[in-house]
Amino acid sequence: MPELPEVETERGRLAARLEGRRIETARIDDARLTRPDDPAWVAARLAGEHVDAVERRGKYLVVRLTGGEVLLVHLRMTGGFRYGPASHERAVLELDDGTRIAYRDVRRFGTWLLLDPEEAEKHLGIRLGPEPLGRRFTTAYLAGRLAGRKAPVKAAILDQRTVAGLGNIYADESLWYGRIHPLRPAGELSAEEVARLRQGIRRALRLGIGRQGADLGDGTYAGGRMQHEFRVYGRTGEPCDRCGTPIAKTRAGGRGTWYCSTCQA
Ligand SMILES: [Zn+2]
């Protein structure tokens, strides 16, 4: 499941091909992708448009068209773009320079929403807190969001309204870097612990972006190298890189959760 670093990697590759180009033809084969809108309507609106910019907000790709509309793409479980023939193609864009861009999605949970800019801002604004690598994501902000919450801190940071872009992998990695136990009630963290958590989140995500995300072997985010840098995720029984204690597995917020029982207090 793509998280901020995987989506950022997709964004960079897509932007390199799409920005400044004109979409000659658009074909959308899967009505689930655009619902409630008709896929033929969305495809007709995309054809002939120039692309100004491909941005990212949380786990969304934000494709800004010269005509003013915005295509919000959420990859969900297995969505991604390919620049050659691909299996499980759900949509295809052909550009004025001959580039063919396929959207593939094995599980078909991904979404394409074509909105005007105000609608797009509203759509993102009600769902997403600040960008974790942006200036608004301060320790004071995070402390305010966690204050009074009894939920496990891991569940709190998976809430996209607390901070945009974390999923199961990077939440676990962030908590390891911050030396915070994933089951601690969010509201009980000290100011110093919140500061460590914020730094841990930023460190884990920066590392993930630098490694072009994690390739979990299913072919969806091929080429990522973050899976070689996991400190806890999926490492049950392996020694903690900081203290040697075997990594433990539990559940938090309904998700498999890995941590070190010695150095995450
Ligand atoms: Zn440890």
pLDDT per position in the chain (265 positions), as tens? 899 999 999 999 999 999 999 999 999 999 999 999 999 999 999 999 999 999 999 999 999 999 999 999 999 999 999 998 889 999 999 999 999 999 999 999 999 999 999 999 999 999 999 999 999 999 999 999 999 999 999 999 999 999 999 999 999 999 999 999 999 999 999 999 999 999 999 999 999 999 999 998 877 788 899 999 999 999 999 999 999 999 999 999 889 999 999 999 9
Rounded Cα distance, 188 and 173, in Å: 20
Can you say how many angstroms the Cα of residue 194 is from the centroid of all Cα atoms in its chain?
Answer: 22
Rounded Cα distance, 21 and 95, in Å: 7
Contact 243, 231 (CB under 8 A): no
Annotated catalytic residue 238: no
Tokens of 177: 């870097």
Model confidence pTM above 0.85: yes
Rounded Cα distance, 46 and 93, in Å: 9
pLDDT of the residue at 218: 77
Q: Which of helix, strand or coil describes residue 208?
A: helix
Annotated catalytic residue 2: yes
Q: Quote the ligand 1 centre to 48 CA distance (angstroms).
A: 55
Q: Quote the ligand 1 centre to 264 CA distance (angstroms).
A: 7
pLDDT of the residue at 86: 87
Annotated catalytic residue 32: no
Q: Quote the ligand 1 centre to 237 CA distance (angstroms).
A: 12
Annotated catalytic residue 100: no
pLDDT of the residue at 56: 98
Q: Quote the ligand 1 centre to 56 CA distance (angstroms).
A: 33
Q: Residue for token digits 């009894």? A: 150
Q: Which of 2, 5, 39, 152 is catalytic?
A: 2
pLDDT of the residue at 253: 82
Q: Quote the ligand 1 centre to 204 CA distance (angstroms).
A: 16
Q: Which of 59, 64, 104, 145 is catalytic?
A: 59
Rounded Cα distance, 96 and 2, in Å: 29
Q: Residue for token digits 């089951």? A: 183
Can you say how many angstroms the Cα of residue 104 is from the centroid of all Cα atoms in its chain?
Answer: 17
Q: Quote the ligand 1 centre to 231 CA distance (angstroms).
A: 9
